[in-house]
C-alpha cells in the first residue's frame, strides 16, 4: 500500500517532535506520580512513600497507603537525617532522596530489614520507640546495645515469637500492633512486659541499695537532694548526669557499667587524697595501743554473728567494744556511737590501735575495724569471713573509707 506523498513528508517531522517532547511528558508523569503528601493523606503516593521509607530503614508499619502516625514519625526521622524541615511533608526534595520509581515499588515490599545486636541508625531509634510504646524503658539513642537486646528478647517471649533477639518481620509486626490488655470478650489478656529490664536500679526503687547509690553519687559530686533511699527525680537526674560525664548511655538505669564507673571514680578520688608512701607505724605507740593490737590478733578467725559482742560471735562494733574492754577501756556499742568518741585523725596519721570506719551499702560509718599498721586493719567482716585482716588499699575499702578515730593517745 502506498502512503500519500504529503504524509510521507510530514511523518519524519512528527517523529522528531516526539523525540523532543517524550522526555518532557515523562518528567510530567513522574512529577505527578510524586505529589506533595502530608499527614492524613491516602493513596498510591502515600503507599510509595511507605515502601521507600521501609526500604531505607525508617518505616516499619503496614503498607496501606494511609499517612498515619507511624509514617509521620518515619518521615520526620528521614527529614532530620537529610537536614530538611521536620514537618512530615514530603515534597520534591524528599522524593529526590527517596527516589524509587513506581514500577519498582512492588519489588520493594519485601519484609522489613532485620535488626540485631550491634546495629545503629534510625531503624534502631524506631525500634526503641516502638518497644517503649509496649512498656519498656529505653533510651532512643539508635544503638542496638545490651538493653535493647534484652528488651527485644523479653518482648518476643511475651508475644510467643522465637526468642533470638533479632528483629525480623514477625517481631516488627507485633511491635507495630497496638498493645492491649483485654480481648474482644473483655477477658484479661497476658500482662504487659515489665517496664524496666531485670538487674537494674531505676526510678521508683527504694531501699539500702538506693541509699548506697545516692551516697556514692554525692561523694563524686552529683547531688541527689538527700540520701533517703528513694530513687526519685533528683536521683534520676544525678544518675543521668554522671552517665553522660562517663560516656555511658544516659538512660538513668543503674547496672554494672554505672556501678563500675562509680567505683573507678571513687577509687581515683581516694588515691588522690592519700600519701603515696605506704602506711606504717608512725611515732611512738603506747603500750595500751600495742596491747589492743595484740589482743585483736588473738581473735583472728573467730566467727561473725550479727549483734554479737563476745568470742562466741562478733559483729564489727561488738568486736571493737570487746577488744578495748580487755584493756580497760569502755566504748559504746554501735559503730556510729564509736565514731563520736576519741580524736579524729587523718588517713596518713594513722597509728596501730586507731579505729577505722567505712561506709557500705550507702549507710554512713556502718563498719568499723582496728588499724594494725602497715596499711592493714582487723575487723569482724562477714558471716563467711569472720574476724579477718584486710588491706585499706584494696579497691573496696579504698573507696569506702570514711575516717579514723584515736582512742588511745
Same domain, 326 and 381: yes
Q: pLDDT, tens digit, for every residue of 343-366? A: 888 887 889 999 999 887 665 678
**Alpha carbons 65 and 351: distance in angstroms, whole number:** 80
Residues 304 and 377 reside in one and the same domain = yes
Residue 39 is part of which domain span? 31-108
User: What is the number of helices (H) and of strands (E) in the chain?
Assistant: 14, 8
Give yes or no for a contact between 246 and 222, defined as CB atoms under 8 angstroms apart. Answer: no
pLDDT value of residue 398: 74
In a domain, 77, yes or no: yes
357-378: average pLDDT? 83
* More confident site: 257 or 21: 257
186 within a domain of the structure (yes/no)? no
Report the predicted TM-score, pTM, of the whole model to 2 decimal places.
Answer: 0.36
H/E element, 395: helix 395-400
Average pLDDT across the chain, whole number: 77
Angle in degrees, CA 370, 373, 377, rounded to 5: 35
Residue 66 confidence (pLDDT) above 50: yes
What is the Cα–Cα distance from 254 to 262, expressed in whole angstroms? 10
Can you read off the three cell numbers belonging to residue 280? 606504717
Is 212 strand, coil or helix? helix
Q: What are phi and psi of 219, to 5 degrees?
A: -65, -30
Last residue of a domain, one of 108, 135, 159: 108
Q: Residue 83: which pLDDT band, with cuts at 50, 70 and 90?
A: confident
10 in a domain, yes or no? no
**Same structural domain, 241 and 340:** no
Q: 32: closest CA among 21, 43, 19?
A: 43
**Domain's final residue, options 86, 108, 130:** 108
**pLDDT band (50, 70, 90) for residue 179:** low
Crossing angle (nearest 10°) for helices 69-82 and 122-133: 150
pLDDT for 168: 84
| Within a domain: 2 | no
Could you tell me whether strands 343-345 and 386-391 are parallel, antiparallel, or unpaired per DSSP bridges? Answer: unpaired
Give the number of other Cβ atoms within 10 Å of residue 378's Cβ. Answer: 22
Rounded to an integer, what distance in angstroms lies between the CA atom of residue 281 and that of residue 352? 6
pLDDT tens figures, 199-243: 678 888 888 888 888 888 888 888 888 888 889 888 999 999 998
Q: Is the pLDDT of residue 110 over 60?
A: no
Q: How confident is the model at residue 112 (pLDDT cuts 50, 70, 90)?
A: low
Look at residue 362 in the predicted model and tell me its pLDDT.
60
**Other beta carbons less than 10 A from residue 357's beta carbon:** 22
What's the CATH code of the domain at 217? Answer: 1.10.101.10
% residues pLDDT > 70 (the chain): 78
Q: What is the pLDDT of residues 296-309, one digit of tens each?
A: 999 999 999 988 99
Q: Name the CA dihedral angle for 17, 22, 23, 28, rounded to a multiple of 10 degrees.
A: 120
Average pLDDT over residues 122-151: 83
The answer to whether residue 191 scores a pLDDT higher than 80 is: no
Collapsed DSSP state (helix, strand, coil) of residue 69 = helix
248 Cβ partners below 8 Å, 6+ apart? 257, 258, 261
CA 362, 363, 366, 367: dihedral to nearest 10 degrees? Answer: 10
Q: How many domains does the chain have?
A: 4
Amino acid at each position: 500500500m502506498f502512503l500519500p506523498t504529503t504524509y510521507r513528508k510530514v511523518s519524519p517531522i512528527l517523529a522528531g517532535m516526539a523525540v523532543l517532547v517524550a522526555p518532557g511528558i515523562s518528567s510530567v508523569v513522574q512529577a505527578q506520580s510524586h505529589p506533595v503528601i502530608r499527614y492524613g493523606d491516602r493513596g498510591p503516593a502515600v503507599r510509595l512513600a511507605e515502601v521507600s521509607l521501609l526500604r531505607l530503614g525508617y518505616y516499619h508499619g503496614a503498607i496501606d497507603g494511609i499517612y498515619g502516625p507511624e509514617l509521620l514519625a518515619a518521615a520526620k526521622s528521614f527529614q532530620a537525617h537529610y537536614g530538611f524541615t521536620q514537618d512530615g511533608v514530603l515534597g520534591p526534595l524528599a522524593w529526590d532522596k527517596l527516589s524509587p520509581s513506581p514500577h519498582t515499588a512492588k519489588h520493594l515490599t519485601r519484609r522489613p530489614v532485620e535488626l540485631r545486636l550491634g546495629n545503629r541508625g534510625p531503624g534502631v531509634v524506631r525500634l526503641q520507640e516502638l518497644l517503649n510504646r509496649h512498656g519498656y524503658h529505653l533510651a532512643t539513642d539508635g544503638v542496638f546495645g545490651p538493653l535493647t537486646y534484652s528488651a527485644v528478647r523479653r518482648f518476643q517471649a511475651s508475644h510467643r515469637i522465637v526468642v533470638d533477639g533479632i528483629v525480623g518481620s514477625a517481631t516488627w509486626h507485633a511491635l507495630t500492633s497496638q498493645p492491649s490488655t483485654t480481648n474482644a470478650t473483655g477477658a484479661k489478656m497476658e500482662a504487659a512486659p515489665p517496664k524496666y529490664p531485670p538487674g537494674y536500679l531505676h526510678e521508683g526503687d527504694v531501699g539500702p541499695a538506693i541509699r548506697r547509690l545516692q551516697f556514692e553519687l554525692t561523694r563524686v559530686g552529683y547531688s541527689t537532694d538527700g540520701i533517703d533511699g528513694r530513687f526519685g527525680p533528683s536521683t534520676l537526674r544525678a544518675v543521668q548526669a554522671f552517665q553522660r560525664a562517663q560516656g555511658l548511655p544516659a538512660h538513668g538505669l543503674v547496672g554494672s557499667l554505672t556501678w563500675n564507673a562509680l567505683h573507678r571514680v571513687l577509687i581515683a578520688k581516694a588515691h588522690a587524697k592519700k600519701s603515696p608512701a605506704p602506711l606504717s607505724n608512725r611515732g611512738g605507740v603506747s603500750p595500751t595501743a600495742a596491747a589492743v593490737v595484740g589482743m585483736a590478733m588473738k581473735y583472728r578467725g573467730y566467727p561473725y554473728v550479727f549483734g554479737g559482742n563476745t568470742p562466741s560471735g562478733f559483729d564489727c562494733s561488738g568486736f571493737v567494744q570487746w577488744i578495748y574492754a580487755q584493756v580497760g577501756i569502755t566504748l559504746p556499742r554501735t559503730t556510729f556511737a564509736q565514731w563520736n568518741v576519741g580524736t579524729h585523725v587523718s588517713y596518713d596519721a594513722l597509728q596501730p590501735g586507731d579505729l577505722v570506719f567505712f561506709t557500705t551499702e550507702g549507710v554512713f560509718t556502718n563498719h568499723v575495724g582496728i588499724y594494725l599498721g602497715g596499711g592493714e586493719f582487723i575487723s569482724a567482716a562477714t558471716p563467711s569471713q569472720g574476724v579477718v585482716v584486710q588491706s585499706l588499699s584494696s579497691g573496696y575499702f579504698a573507696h569506702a573509707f570514711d575516717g579514723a578515730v584515736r582512742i588511745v593517745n
